[in-house]
Structure 1
Amino acid sequence: MNEQVYQPREIERKWQQIWEETDAHKTNEDEKKPKFYTLEMFPYPSGEGLHMGHVRVYTIGDVIARFKRMKGYQVLHPMGADAFGLPAENAAIQRGVNPREWTLNNMERIRNEQKRLGVSYDWDRYVATCLPDYYKFTQWLFLLFYERGLAYKKKAAVNWCPTCNTVLANEQVEDGKCWRCDSEVTKKELNQWFFRITDYAERLLQDLDQLEGWPDKVKMMQKNWIGKSEGAEVVFTVPALEDTKISVFTTRPDTLYGVTYMVVAPEHPLVPQLIAGKENEKAILEFIEELKKVNEITRTSTEVEKVGYFTGTYAKHPLTGADIPIWVANYVLMDYGTGAVMGVPAHDERDFLFAKKYQLPIKIVVQSKEGEPYTLEQMTGAFTEDGVLVNSDQFNGLNNREAIRTIGEYLEKIGKGKLTVSYRLRDWLISRQRYWGTPIPMVYCETCGNVPVPLEQLPVILPEDVVFNGKDNPLTTSEAFVHTTCPKCGGPAHRETDTMDTFIDSSWYYFRYASPHEEIKPFDSRQVNKWLPVDEYIGGIEHAVLHLLYSRFFTKVFYDAGLISFQEPFKSLLTQGMVLKDGAKMSKSKGNVVSPNEIIEKYGADTGRLFILFAAPPDRDLDWSDSGVEGSHRFLNRVWRMVQQHLEILTQTYPYQVETDAEKELRRMIHLTIKRVTEDIDERDNFNTAISAIMELVNKIYVYPEDGNKGLLKEAIETTVILLAPMTPHLAEELWQMIGQRESIHKEKWPTYQEEYLVLDEVEIAVQINGKIKGKMVVPTSYSKEELEKEVLSDPRLEDWKAGKEVRKVIVVPGKLVNIVVG
């Protein structure tokens, strides 16, 4: 028989066409089956197309989806495009085209690339966040947040990227730089829209404990970002400003009697009043202007010198009534706490250094429980350990930990503060001064004020008559868009020209997949409650405190609004590692990029898929290896030849019984491989070890005697092809058809293993003398400890092994070894 040559490109084109024509990957809704929703994070449709990192995440998701279908689940496996965003707008400015045209072309190219990979998406559920039928409901959800008091507008000092000409959320500033373009971020005062994510801070924190399927690293990143601190709010008053109150949050109310000064952030709204007419007024105003150019990371760094100015105004201590000088300093931020801190130099290292620099008073209020009391003259730094209170009036002698609560409760009793909790998490700034995003559905009327656009008037469509000059927000250049009528009074009004942060689009897209053609609401609650939470979510760990936190927030709001019946969006989270080449992340600047299309053209998609699964566990970084790709291709050729060489056997039926040792060993290998592959995919996401197991089975088949049990050999080869199906879907389909099967291999039931076939009749054990191996024996696996001991002690080689010494003890480990202790 003439063997056919493995031609992956022809085979893959053939099956991709068949799958498309037969709707092979349409969601197999069957209420009798358990559901499984597997989802990879959808891509941004950039001009560069897919890279190997995309291939890795899509392949992992596809293996899980195909495996679950074969295991008898109804599977939802959708895809879409996170299609709004600044890169498209920048491309439009550079090319003189509308971002819509650029984005839609990229979306189509990426869809075609995904199809070439053989990924089993239900394309009928495709969503693109830039299309009106999607962003209509992003606007709908904005109005839901607004109605529930979770969307509000305020003037704030915001992060401003001068290159992107837009505002950034705190989470989008990385080491003081823009997360997209790496430009230094500055501060700018603007009226902006916010979402009250801080209202959900405690729930977002507490519910992390429910996320058993999430990596601990991601949960810890979210916990640290939310940043819960327990302490007290302390209220100081400013007599010169008619007893205006300044609130301070502190985790150390036990040190309240040690406050010798106060510091407010340069952006604090009281600063103009505090410095008005004072000696330092001009210097402080210049200082504030300078700080607008300095990012928050730099200002709060331990390496940066702390700089401050006395405002010339005093606050009144809430317990002692003493005058407390108010300073302005670079290390206090308006966005953290209340924008004011109390200075306790004796018990805080930063305050100590600041007090020493500016010769401010230092007052000891906590002493060590042991040894002689220390004095100011002895202090070379702050005392931050636990101790007992001194110089604290009625609280003297209290343990400082006890005093935290006691003083907090006393403040509440006298109306000067209270025990409270503070969070590092800030409200989510969602306004962006750009065109290519979801328009915020609000209008401004001189008579009616802020007016939400009625639901029936959604979507607010992005206009086409805009100017992209790289300087102004393009939406402000469209007269037809800006000028409108008030939905309430019918009078003249103007639209909001900011668009929404694109993280809003991605905070709910996975809900839309459950009912992508719903026209009245963002989603059909019945379908969402059926399919969600997502059972397996796959994507990069870089989204831990952006997309993943926002998605959890959205889900809780939907739950509170009665739209859904669950509170967390993703049951299990798989964060895959990066794809590296020559030890570095692939990038054009490094010249180490490998194109998926290049691999597909040379070796086929199945080879690329197999390599990227085999080269490393999914949560580890993967180092690209050309020789590794070639090795994967050789293995698939080996599988191809194995089927070709046994076609005569594979196309016939052979009833058989297992009798010989060789037959028992092959049968054991079949069932052991099924067990290993099933558990590696289903329980551990260890695709690399699953592939290793299949490779071992193939090796065993190749050395099996040609004149052996044909029925068993056929079962071994068919099992191999089925086990490879989720990983190399095109090859598996072709081989399945080649051996005479009519139905798609992906409709086959996943094989099961029999425990009794995994047991060996005999096993080789080591014989040790005083812990050193002297020989080996083959014994029945059914032997008890006593039988093993008797068998070894009766071995004629024993006399030579023990060299005339007396047997003192025998240690038996069944199935592994017998250790004879002699002396």
Structure 2
Amino acid sequence: MAERTKQYDPAVIEAKWQDYWKQHKTFKAVDCDRSREKLYVLDMFPYPSGAGLHVGHPEGYTASDIWCRYKRMKGYNVLHTMGWDAFGLPAEQYAVKTGTHPAVTTAKNITVFRRQLEAFGFSFDWDREINTTDPGYYKWTQWIFSQLYKQGLAYQSEQPVNWCPELGTVLANEEVINGRSEVGNYPVIRKPVRQWVLKITEYAEKLLEGIDGLDWPEGTKEMQRNWIGKSTGAEVDFAVAGRDERIRVYTTRPDTLFGATYMVLAPEHPLVAKLVSSERKDAVMAYVEASRSKSDLDRTELNKNKSGEFTGAYAINPVNGQQIPIWISDYVLISYGTGAIMAVPAHDTRDFEFASKFGLPIVCILKPSEKDCAAAGVALDDVLAGRACWTGDGTLFQSANSEVALDGLAVDDAKKRISDWLEGKGIGKATVNYRLRDWLFSRQRYWGEPFPLAHMADGSVKLVDDSQLPVLLPEMDDYKPTPDGEPPLARAKDWLNYRDPATGQTGKRETNTMPQWAGSCWYYLRYIDPHNDQAAWDPEKEKYWMPVDLYVGGAEHAVLHLLYSRFWHKVLYDLGYVSHPEPWKRLIHQGMILGISYKDGRGALVPNDLVDNRDGKYFHKETGEELTMLPAKMSKSLKNVVNPDEIVKRYGADSFRLYEMFMGPLREVKPWNTEGVEGVYRFLFRFWKMIIDAEHGGLCAEIGDEPMDRDGERLLHQTIKKVSEDIDNLSYNTAISQLMIAVNEFGRAPKRNRRAMETMVLLISPLAPHIAEELWQRLGHDTTLAYEPWPQCDEAKLKVDSVEIVVQINGKPRVRMAVPAEADQAAMCELALANAEVQAQIAGKTVVKTIAVPGRLINVVVK
């Protein structure tokens, strides 16, 4: 141990205790310890980018660490660990630009991240550290893929995808922004590419059913429901006039079939090229090409200006025999339903906008009540005349033919009747559909997990035997796709050639790699048994630790990561490899921490180090110009990224931890202000001085074993109760506020009880562990406080002998007086009327009545 400091010196103290925790493996979790209740707390593990952490990243890690430290002191066996989601496009792009192998870059970045996380004093069990790029890890990612493949949940398909020619790879929808790649800002088009696809749709209903039982934010649960997008409707076949083809549509409103006045195909629909007339071919194909550069989001939610082209062909509405024109438009997606819709512009907003723009018929067949129209601010005459779109409830009319009549029916009854009729005619049927699409699971890049697959000479696909795993990523110097668009692995000629050891047959390995999602889908399971080279995890350890009790991470992963992981987990559950149907019991999203950007009068960004703060206003240090302060998401482009290394170096990790938790409620968005760290640093300095004599470095002379007075006992137990309840509720900001109140009181007390000071140290230890460990040692303890029992509140000590109340005369405050804390209303009134000051106020008047609010006030009504 280092020499003891007299003053509070975070740099010395924090290095000392971080070294102690590492040497003693203080936070090592014990597998299958049945003597204690287990607690598995998980952080969403980071992608180790070259930029390192900024001050927003550690917020969730700090919150979970406080919870873990608190629960250890409450007697739990806590599993809390860290790893790296290290495959992916950014490292590969850096390698392409610099010639540095992605493995080298990744290892370097991980070293930086690990150092930063260790500097915060997080209580991870570092012996369980994982890395998705480690062959010992991705061996089991490949094994899980093999299980999916064996169950028929992985297949090859030509899929329209987001293709970036510059990056030479498929991108997920979330990796495309306004038709350009998130990495590099390159143009992205839609084109068919051979892909490996996971059949997540097979689990749509199970994924949907499991949501209700989760202790997750309601907003996140609703996002998952919407992404799965279950709907009940009907499939309907439309014949094409003068041709043999039929167009199948899926609609949630088969009751409105009589109002269908045109059809729309997605630009990618395979029938477009067959149906387009020679006169319309050039315009239609140009539109198809233009649509390739738009993302699904651009084409739907962001599409405010409908566009399209008429194909020159017509379909036949099966309920009335009318010919309706067939258009193409990018507001219809090939990935949803059948990629074709029947357009009912009178009763669908998007169809109404399209029909209005292109002059297509709008036929109302659903009559709302005048009351509903008035509530919606729409004139009934406009609805009936097709001048306004009505998407609400109503009664069917103009919806009858010789075989089926819907007139007079409500919507639900009409849906059933028309669905039965369609099925009887053999041209449709009631069906359930999901917005969820199968998961495109391959990427045309190098830095990812190789598939355990080979394409054999006879045309079959061979799954590599488990005994041959891992299929190692080959060493390569050139990571770019080949000129003909093949993935980089196609260049690895020796690696590419495969011979089946069982049959001697030859083939070529799969050259696509898995997406970054693969490693993050199951990492929580590998933490349970990270060094097992015989299995992905030990079944007994899995039964002990799972499910994860608390999962902490950003809301940006609310849908895809969480949904993909749940899918893999449910497959593993059905196969008997895991013991619980859901991976995470409770989920918390920490709020974003915003950086501060400063702009001058021309709107130019001003670097933070050129900003001078004077009296709450901000000025340019060189020009003196007053600046505008704008909180925004931290990014290099906004010049508002704050490096946590600088904060820790200046104020210490404990100050950093306290400030991030003191900024406001954990789940809310909060702006970063470095000046605020100074305040919590001063608080920690006061905490230190409450116990340590700054001149000699020993305990303060005021600390002794004399019993505490009742006020001191009450304050101590109030603090125990408040801090305990607040940490339980993850309300760390109010827990810190209570500690500040207590330190202010105890710090100026002429005598301080040693037991009370020890209790205060234990109470602050989950929040500021380094200073707490040091003070615990200075108070005479030889071992870490990490497993000391958490202080218990004695409710009897919270009681007060008397309380001060206000006595009002005719509703106006006149007298303050003390009454016994246990006094009831009658006793309070009796004491008030006997008080000399009150008697003087009501002298010569008649008391009409008295009203008492126990513990607060009495109102004496006189006349």
* TM superposition score category, shorter chain reference: over 0.9
- 2:399 maps to what in 1? 392
More divergent stretch after superposition (804-813 vs 443-452)? 804-813
- 1:431 maps to what in 2? 442
- 1:699 maps to what in 2? 744
Q: CA deviation at 1:408?
A: 2.0
CA distance in 2, matches of 1:439, 1:714: 61
Aligned with residue 137 of structure 2, among 134, 137, 140: 134
The reply on whether 1:223 has 2:225 as its aligned counterpart is yes
> After the TM superposition, which residues 82-93 of structure 1 pair with which residues of structure 2 at under 5 Å, given as runs?
82-93=85-96
- SS of equivalent to 2:309: strand
Conserved? CA contact 2:444–2:481, under 8 Å: no
TM-superposition CA deviations, 1:584-623 (whole Å, max 9, x none): 2333333332222212222222221222222222112232
The reply on whether 1:543 has 2:591 as its aligned counterpart is no
TM-superposition CA deviations, 1:338-396 (whole Å, max 9, x none): 10000223323332343344443443322245599958994322333422222222222
**TM-score normalised according to structure 1 size:** 0.93
- SS of equivalent to 2:338: coil
CA distance in 2, matches of 1:455, 1:8: 51
Taking a change above 3 Å as real, the CA distance of residues 150 and 127 of structure 1, as seen in their structure-2 partners, is same
- 2:715 maps to what in 1? 669
Taking a change above 3 Å as real, the CA distance of residues 343 and 103 of structure 1, as seen in their structure-2 partners, is same
- SS of equivalent to 1:776: strand
The reply on whether 1:292 has 2:292 as its aligned counterpart is yes
Taking a change above 3 Å as real, the CA distance of residues 274 and 21 of structure 1, as seen in their structure-2 partners, is same
- 1:680 maps to what in 2? 726
**TM-score normalised according to structure 2 size:** 0.89
> After the TM superposition, which residues 363-762 of structure 1 pair with which residues of structure 2 at under 5 Å, given as runs?
363-369=363-369, 374=381, 378-393=385-400, 394-469=405-480, 473-486=487-500, 489-582=503-596, 583-645=631-693, 647=698, 654=705, 663-682=709-728, 684-706=729-751, 713-762=753-802
Taking a change above 3 Å as real, the CA distance of residues 723 and 363 of structure 1, as seen in their structure-2 partners, is same
Count of matched residue positions in the alignment of Structure 1 and Structure 2: 808
CA distance in 2, matches of 1:31, 1:377: 71
- 1:152 maps to what in 2? 155
Taking a change above 3 Å as real, the CA distance of residues 409 and 647 of structure 1, as seen in their structure-2 partners, is farther
CA distance in 2, matches of 1:806, 1:411: 86
- 1:27 maps to what in 2? 29
- 2:607 maps to what in 1? none
- SS of equivalent to 1:273: helix
The reply on whether 1:16 has 2:27 as its aligned counterpart is no
CA distance in 2, matches of 1:765, 1:491: 93
Taking a change above 3 Å as real, the CA distance of residues 491 and 303 of structure 1, as seen in their structure-2 partners, is closer
Conserved? CA contact 1:25–1:122, under 8 Å: yes
CA distance in 2, matches of 1:95, 1:263: 47
> After the TM superposition, which residues 46-195 of structure 1 pair with which residues of structure 2 at under 5 Å, given as runs?
46-174=49-177, 176-195=179-198
Taking a change above 3 Å as real, the CA distance of residues 303 and 745 of structure 1, as seen in their structure-2 partners, is closer
What one-letter code is carried by the residue in structure 2 that aligns with 1:389?
L
More divergent stretch after superposition (297-306 vs 421-430)? 297-306
What one-letter code is carried by the residue in structure 1 that aligns with 2:170?
V
More divergent stretch after superposition (763-772 vs 684-693)? 763-772
CA distance in 1, matches of 2:809, 2:252: 64
Taking a change above 3 Å as real, the CA distance of residues 791 and 86 of structure 1, as seen in their structure-2 partners, is same
TM-superposition CA deviations, 1:688-747 (whole Å, max 9, x none): 1111111111112123233xxx6xx11211111111111221211111111211121112
- SS of equivalent to 2:325: strand
Taking a change above 3 Å as real, the CA distance of residues 181 and 573 of structure 1, as seen in their structure-2 partners, is farther
TM-superposition CA deviations, 1:198-231 (whole Å, max 9, x none): 222222223221112x122222222222223222
CA distance in 1, matches of 2:113, 2:538: 28
- SS of equivalent to 1:616: coil
- SS of equivalent to 2:342: strand
CA distance in 2, matches of 1:33, 1:298: 52
Q: CA deviation at 1:298?
A: 2.9
More divergent stretch after superposition (368-377 vs 669-678)? 368-377
Taking a change above 3 Å as real, the CA distance of residues 291 and 22 of structure 1, as seen in their structure-2 partners, is same
Taking a change above 3 Å as real, the CA distance of residues 377 and 741 of structure 1, as seen in their structure-2 partners, is closer
- 2:606 maps to what in 1? none
Conserved? CA contact 2:699–2:778, under 8 Å: no
CA distance in 2, matches of 1:206, 1:250: 23
TM-superposition CA deviations, 1:600-657 (whole Å, max 9, x none): 2222222212222222221122322233211222121212222114955899984x65
> After the TM superposition, which residues 232-311 of structure 1 pair with which residues of structure 2 at under 5 Å, given as runs?
232-238=234-240, 240-242=242-244, 244-275=245-276, 278-300=278-300, 304-311=304-311
What one-letter code is carried by the residue in structure 1 that aligns with 2:266?
A
TM-superposition CA deviations, 1:19-56 (whole Å, max 9, x none): 22211121144311000011111111111222212222
- SS of equivalent to 2:530: coil
What one-letter code is carried by the residue in structure 2 that aligns with 1:602?
R
Taking a change above 3 Å as real, the CA distance of residues 117 and 373 of structure 1, as seen in their structure-2 partners, is closer
What one-letter code is carried by the residue in structure 1 that aligns with 2:713?
R
Q: CA deviation at 1:300?
A: 2.8
What one-letter code is carried by the residue in structure 2 that aligns with 1:379?
G
Conserved? CA contact 1:93–1:470, under 8 Å: no
Structure 1: give runs of 5+ residues left out of the alignment: none
More divergent stretch after superposition (527-536 vs 359-368)? 359-368
Q: CA deviation at 1:448?
A: 4.4
CA distance in 1, matches of 2:639, 2:688: 35
CA distance in 2, matches of 1:313, 1:280: 10
CA distance in 2, matches of 1:377, 1:596: 63
Q: CA deviation at 1:808?
A: 3.3
The percent of aligned pairs where both chains have the same amino acid is 46
